[in-house]
Amino acid sequence: MQPDHLGDVSFWYADIGLPKPRAALPGDAEADVCIIGAGYTGLWSAWYLKQAQPSLRVVVVEKEFAGFGASGRNGGWLTGGFAWNHGRYAETAGTDGVRAMVRAMNGTVDEVIGVAETQGIDADIRRTEELMVAVNPAQAIRLSEEVAHRRRWGEEERVFEIGADELRPRLRIPGAVSAMVVTNVARVQPAKLVRGLAAAVERTGVSIYEGTAVTSLEAGRVATPRGVVRAKVILRCTEGFSAGLPGLRRDWLPLNSAQIATEPLPAQVWDEIGWDGHQIVGDFANAYCYCQRTREGRITVGARGVPYRFGSSLDSNGAPDPETVRRLVAILHRHFPATKPYRVAHAWCGVLGVPRDWCATVGFDPATGTGWAGGYVGVGVSTSNLAGRTLTDLVLGRTTDLTRLPWVNRRTRPWEPEPLRWLGVHAMYALLNAADRAEARPGVTRPSWLGGLGNRLTGRG
Ligand SMILES: Cc1cc2nc3c(=O)[nH]c(=O)nc-3n(C[C@H](O)[C@H](O)[C@H](O)COP(=O)(O)OP(=O)(O)OC[C@H]3O[C@@H](n4cnc5c(N)ncnc54)[C@H](O)[C@@H]3O)c2cc1C
């Protein structure tokens, strides 16, 4: 099935219209803080810096437009979860440190919603539950392990398992045997959130320059074709695009994620599916999917598709390849067969940043005045908010509960050079997809070993 629209950054901009471009950097400039990249990370950092110290001169330079990247393309899951490996963090931070991180992350949902409310940001925010569904016995085992794991690490208040009978009144997915429920999450329209946040940041006196690509940065100096910004503090907030900056090609791997959105669906489809609570919905496949029910009654489905482009290269304006679209439509029809007669209105994709250890980081080097945050591995809607608050404390030289969290100033080794990088990621996803096919076979009751092998291959597991 061919979607009506392909790329154009994302469906979320087809929904609200692309923004009117802001001015580019008018020439050389001076600031106290120069932020590179106007996605959630850059904008939250600007927001909290100005809240903490209104006199700071903060400038944001953005290659395209505010919200061009993953922040304007994502699945709209505001979950208060984040990408990490509890064990790896515990090695340095201990159990208490990991639990502090869980608490801080869970708090981001209320924090984001609170700022949206006080700033009048309409982002179709709806508080709801996350429902991660298992559709075969192998997935159900993985699900129970994940529930136990998250409850052990401090989420016993909000993560629990339900069986098929309890799931059915919430959501009807063929073959569902159980679900993990995560409370205190929200669904958002991501482009509306980033657009509103950019406007709120501007109201605090921050200048956002668009169409201004940073070509190099060194201590105190950010170079662009439009002029040089001199600033004592420079924050790199380019996440999945970071490989395009000098010296960073192998730091964070730009992993693709793609989505489709159906046309608005009629009442009889919703009667069949349920989903009255607008929960954010995913599955426990090894190559999992993530879905939302939008404000106007569409279903969006996201998944990995073709995972990575050789040489860390990027998509063109968010257009996914035909094979990725085919896979997403197959997931849509498998989980929601009632949607088969209806059109797919839009397909798009974007990149997210993946560090070699698959753990998000935020950091600041006082010697050079350079900070960074990212590597959120596809869980950045909440994490970017914690990153913005943490960078603010680090820049201002404060030692706080946030700056003591175990993800602060974590360093990891770079990714392998090509073609190893491409081979590794493609082999990993080939194994995850093979594991999913094996687990879907009748009579299979255990998770496939291929999934574990796939994760171990690139250091994810
Ligand atoms: C398809 C998709 C679905 C996702 N779904 C979810 C989800 O449902 N929930 C969740 O929590 N997370 C999700 N994520 C991840 C989340 O969207 C990101 O982690 C988050 O938006 C990252 O924000 P950011 O500001 O760090 O990066 P971005 O939003 O990518 O912003 C980086 C900005 O830097 C700019 N830039 C790049 N290079 C330069 C340069 N040289 N000079 C100047 N500017 C530059 C870019 O144009 C861009 O605007 C998803 C990601 C993708 C791609």
CA dihedral over 453, 160, 152, 158, signed as positive or negative = positive
pLDDT-derived band at 93, boundaries 50, 70, 90: confident
Task: Tell me if the bond preceding 264 is cis, omega within 30° of 0.
Answer: no
Ligand 1 centre to CA of 358 (Å) is: 16
The Cα 127–Cα 130 span in angstroms is 10
pLDDT at 84 over 80: no
**Residue written as token pair 């154009």:** 8
pLDDT at 199 over 80: yes
**What pLDDT, in 10s, does the model give residues 54-73?**
999 999 999 999 999 999 99
**What pLDDT, in 10s, does the model give residues 272-295?**
999 999 999 999 999 999 999 999
pLDDT at 90 over 80: no
Average the pLDDT over each of 87-101, 182-196, 243-257, 372-386 and give the range with the smallest value: 87-101
Mean pLDDT of 257-263: 97
DSSP secondary structure, 310-344, as one string? GGG---STTPPPHHHHHHHHHHHHHH-GGGTTS-E
Per-residue tokens: 432: 């995850």
* Residue 316 pLDDT: 80
Helix (H, G, I), strand (E, B) or coil at 358: coil
* Residue 375 pLDDT: 95
pLDDT at 82 over 90: no
Per-residue tokens: 22: 């802001």
* Residue 305 pLDDT: 77
Mean pLDDT of 441-461: 89
pLDDT at 101 over 90: yes
* Residue 91 pLDDT: 75
* Residue 95 pLDDT: 86
What single-letter DSSP state applies at residue 305?
A: S
Q: Answer whether 291's CB lies under 8 Å from 298's CB.
A: no
**What pLDDT, in 10s, does the model give residues 139-193?**
999 999 999 999 998 999 999 999 999 999 999 999 999 999 999 999 999 999 9
Q: Answer whether 217's CB lies under 8 Å from 310's CB.
A: no
Nearest CA, atom 10, ligand 1: 379
How close are the terminal C-alpha atoms of the chain, in Å?
Answer: 34
C-alpha count within 13 angstroms, C-beta hemisphere, residue 168: 6
Mean predicted lDDT score pLDDT of the chain: 95
Nearest CA, atom 2, ligand 1: 74
Q: Using CB atoms within 10 A of its CB, is residue 232 exposed (0-12), middle (13-18) or buried (19+)?
A: middle
Percentage of the chain surpassing pLDDT 90? Answer: 88
pLDDT-derived band at 307, boundaries 50, 70, 90: confident
Average the pLDDT over each of 48-52, 103-107, 424-428 and give the range with the smallest value: 424-428
Of the candidates 149, 161, 197, the residue with the CA atom closest to the CA atom of residue 45: 197
Nearest CA, atom 19, ligand 1: 380
The Cα 390–Cα 401 span in angstroms is 9
Mean pLDDT of 371-377: 96
Ligand 1 neighbours (beta carbon < 6 A): 36-42, 61-64, 68-71, 73-77, 213-214, 237-241, 244-245, 257, 259, 290, 302, 349-352, 374, 376, 378-382, 384
Pocket test for ligand 1, best of 10, 63, 215, 354 (most atoms within 8 A of CB): 63
Pocket test for ligand 1, best of 22, 47, 62 (most atoms within 8 A of CB): 62
**HEC per residue, 108-157:** HHHHHHHHHHHCCCCCCCEEEEEEEEECCHHHHHHHHHHHHHHHHHHHCC
pLDDT-derived band at 260, boundaries 50, 70, 90: very high
